[in-house]
């Protein structure tokens, strides 16, 4: 490994030895950062290829697009969640009703 690369790798490995900053490791901060980065990437990419970043949503996909843009995830179908992850159903209902707590 080249010497300059070793220095950079060693720097990163030393950082990993310390516990992460608790304020930066909260799920809602990570999710918000990921969603913001994805939106910026979509805008940047669309500018490069000449496509409008706000392309129309296919009919029936509005909820999926909203949850992906808000949370960075696609929610499972309700029947699937009821069968395999019952607590998720409550969070899904809260999110769909607009409850702020469900977004964190």
Domain count, the chain: 1
Is residue 2 assigned to a domain? no
CA angle 51, 73, 62 (to 5 degrees): 60
pLDDT per residue over 1-17, tens digit each? Answer: 788 888 888 888 888 88
Inter-residue contact 75 to 67 (CB < 8 Å): yes
Is residue 1 assigned to a domain? no
Inter-residue contact 79 to 89 (CB < 8 Å): no
> Percent helix, strand, coil in the chain (nearest 5)?
70, 0, 30
Is residue 36 assigned to a domain? yes
Is residue 58 assigned to a domain? no
Residue 77 is part of which domain span? 19-48+64-104
Is residue 89 assigned to a domain? yes
Task: Give the 3-state secondary structure of residue 96.
Answer: helix
pLDDT grade for 77, boundaries at 50, 70 and 90: very high
pLDDT per residue over 39-70, tens digit each? Answer: 888 777 766 666 566 677 788 888 888 887 78
Is residue 57 assigned to a domain? no
Is residue 43 assigned to a domain? yes
């Amino acid at each position: 490994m080249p010497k300059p690369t070793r220095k950079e790798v060693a720097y990163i490995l030393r950082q990993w030895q310390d516990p992460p900053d608790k304020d930066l490791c909260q799920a809602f901060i990570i999710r918000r950062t990921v969603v913001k980065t994805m939106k910026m990437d979509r805008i940047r990419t669309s500018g490069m290829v000449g496509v409008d970043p706000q392309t129309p949503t296919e009919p029936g996909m509005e909820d999926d697009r909203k949850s992906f843009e808000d949370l960075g995830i696609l929610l499972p179908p309700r029947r699937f969640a009821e069968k395999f992850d019952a607590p998720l159903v409550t969070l899904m209902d809260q999110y769909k009703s607009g409850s702020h707590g469900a977004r964190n």
